[in-house]
Amino acid sequence: MSIGHTLLGLLESGPRHGYDLKRAFDEKFGQDRPLHYGQVYSTMSRLLKNGLVEVDGIEPGGGPERKRYAITDAGVTDVERWLGTPQKPEPYLQSTLYTKVVLALLTRRDAADILDTQRSEHLRMMRILTDRKRKGDLADQLICDHALFHLEADLRWLELTAARLDRLAEAVRTK
């Protein structure tokens, strides 16, 4: 995720302080991985330097002065361009799990155990996400669906690989 573009998008609704931006980001996008304040302020500093935001006001506070940031026309254009650019699909052609299976086969360990252990871990995570989805709002349901669909695809791969282990063992050991 582009934190800078996300913060710019949040600023389109109106000027905000760094604290407000962090809170809005965490509410909408950072439930599992909230932003650190340092990330917010370093990102805002970079956006300011690049002319994508401007300081809309400074308020004295109990600590450091609080800057209120506003998005510039260049920032709006940048967000628009970013939103219109498709994400590169992640093909996962080099996964750690695949590497573990092949190494287990090469070293004559039980790759089926690795697949079984991973299947159990995937199912455990799917139960957690299903429970979260059931209790969550629409946004949380959608992000959980996204993760669940990826885990389902992984489970299909685990089953397919388990069914082909003997052939895979022969193929990797003869190369």
For 79-137, the pLDDT digits (tens) are 999 999 888 877 776 688 999 999 999 999 999 999 999 999 999 999 999 999 999 99
CA torsion sign for 96, 97, 102, 104 is positive
Tokens of 154: 């992984």
pLDDT of residue 86: 85
pLDDT at 155: 95
Dihedral-angle region of residue 51 (phi above 0 means left; psi in -120 to 50 means alpha; beta otherwise): left
3-state class of 171 per DSSP? helix
CA distances from 15 to 7, 56, 68, 138, 139 (A): 11, 7, 6, 26, 24
- What's the pLDDT at 1? 61
**Nearest-5° angle of CA 137, CA 87, CA 72?**
80
Tokens describing residue 171 = 């193929």
Question: Residues 57-86: pLDDT tens digits?
Answer: 888 766 677 899 999 999 999 999 999 988
Least confident of 20-29, 47-56, 87-96, 106-115: 87-96
Instruction: Write down the pLDDT at residue 94.
Output: 67
State pTM to two decimals.
Answer: 0.72
Q: What is the pLDDT of residue 45?
A: 96
